[in-house]
Every structure is written in C-alpha cells, then in structure tokens.
Amino acid sequence: MNTTVVQVRGIPEDVVATLKARAETRGQSLAGYLRDLLTDEAARPSIDEVMANIAARTPIDYAVDDVRSLIEDGRR
C-alpha cells in the first residue's frame, strides 16, 4: 500500500487534546487514530453516491391497501 503525508493546519488545541485522549484510550498514537478515522470515512459512500444508488433502483409499485396490510400484519 502506497502512503502519503497529510498535514492539517489550524486545528484548535481543544480538538487535538480530545483526539489525543480518544487515541490513548484505544492504545493508539494520534497518527494511528487519525489514520483509522480517515480510512473509515473514505470507505463510506458519500450522500450523493447513496442518493444516486437509490435513484437508480427500480421503483416498487404498491397500493395504499398494501401498506395497510403490512401495518396490520406488524401489529399481530
């Protein structure tokens, strides 16, 4: 895996302190903790990707009676 350096400036000290504390509770360095956060974020689809996926799906046809029936079934 190729890696690169990312530098972020202007982070408030209290934010850094909070992140350091969270990293410490996980037994991680701040760099390791931030790497995990960024990796997790990058793995999730953006809201635009989610909405595009939903829009590409075939619509489901239903009638009001279908909804009523499902609601009634759930109450039994």
Domain boundaries, the chain: 1-60
Question: Is residue 74 predicted with pLDDT exceeding 90?
Answer: no
Percentages of the chain per state (helix, strand, coil), in multiples of 5:
65, 0, 35
| pLDDT above 80 for 10 | yes
On the question of pLDDT at 76 being above 80, the answer is: no
pLDDT tens digits for range 33-55: 999 999 999 999 999 999 999 99
SS3 28: coil
What is d(CA 33, CA 56) in angstroms, rounded to the nearest whole number?
Answer: 36
Q: Which amino acid is at 76?
A: R
pLDDT at 2: 94
C-alpha distances in Å from residue 9, one per residue of 6, 19, 71: 10, 15, 52
What gap in Å lies between CA 34 and CA 6, rounded to an integer? 11
